[in-house]
Amino acid sequence: MSLLGNIIWLIFGGLPAAIGYFVGGLTLCLTIVGIPFGLVSLRMAMAVLTPFGKAVVPTRGGQGCLATVFNVLWLLIFGWGIALAHIVGGLVLAITVVGIPFAKQHFKLVPVALFPFSYKLE
């Protein structure tokens, strides 16, 4: 069932989201300072491609000082906009009964979009 959900997800909105994460990650990787953020964005692009069958889990080993600083920078610069896009997408999809499973996937991606150095999708 997760394969079918992932295919439908890609057709109706997951692919543009993944392309956005991928292009943003490549753009951030062009600068030396943006490489950590670009790598996280590329990881999120791969996670957005197949959200069904995955769970959001905190990273093992806790959150260190550097991850905290990166999370704060990410939240202020990129995270709030990405999370808002996932929330709006989820609300739009939640209007119909058929869209509710896809809305849940958008809402599942909100904490990862806000604090990508603290969460991962497994």
Confidence of residue 24 (pLDDT cuts 50, 70, 90): very high
Domain range for 104 is 2-121
Q: How large is the average pLDDT for residues 81-98?
A: 92
Asked if residues 9 and 93 have their Cβ atoms less than 8 Å apart, the reply is no
Confidence of residue 61 (pLDDT cuts 50, 70, 90): low
The residue that leads in pLDDT, 61 or 119, is: 119
pTM: 0.85
Q: How many domains does the chain have?
A: 1
User: Does 120 have pLDDT greater than 90?
Assistant: no
Question: What was the pLDDT predicted at 94?
Answer: 93
User: Does 92 have pLDDT greater than 90?
Assistant: yes
Question: What was the pLDDT predicted at 12?
Answer: 79
| CA angle 61–55–99, rounded 5-degree value | 150
